[in-house]
Amino acid sequence: MIDPKTLELHDSQVISVEVKPTMGQVVIEILAYLSETSKNRVELKLLFDDVNHFTQCMSFEHMERNFWAGNINYWVPSTDGGYTYIYLVNGLLAIEHKKLVVMSDGSSSTIQS
């Protein structure tokens, strides 16, 4: 199980950002290293549920140019609901949510207020 509180997203790659406003969800698909010693990235989905507010600001040019090295600088996940911030190479995702689920190959871990 992946604990969102200890998951480090530095050098992760954003694959997609799906916004579902009528469902109150944002799903971010990424490739991330699970540890500092990992040699390969794994596919993860970050499901933000019961979303109240979502802000996305990103330079597509910089996201593409830095994809190979990782276009996520770091993140600050909310551990008790509230805002999660994902800092990009040239941008920011800010999600106000009540629930965060990290999914990978059938396993998941949840942060819920």
**pLDDT tens digit string along 3-26?**
888 899 999 999 999 999 999 999
Distances (CA, A) of 84 to 9, 52, 67, 110: 13, 12, 22, 14
Please determine, for residue 110, whether its predicted confidence score (pLDDT) is greater than 70: no
- Please give the Cα distance from 96 to 49 (Å, whole number): 9
- Please give the Cα distance from 4 to 60 (Å, whole number): 26
Mean of all residue pLDDT scores within the chain: 91
Coil, strand, or helix at residue 78?
Answer: coil
What's the pLDDT at 106?
55
Residue 55: strand pairing partners: 94
Q: Which residue has the higher pLDDT, 107 or 84?
A: 84
State pTM to two decimals: 0.90
CA nearest to 32, candidates 40, 24, 21, 20: 40
What's the pLDDT at 113?
43
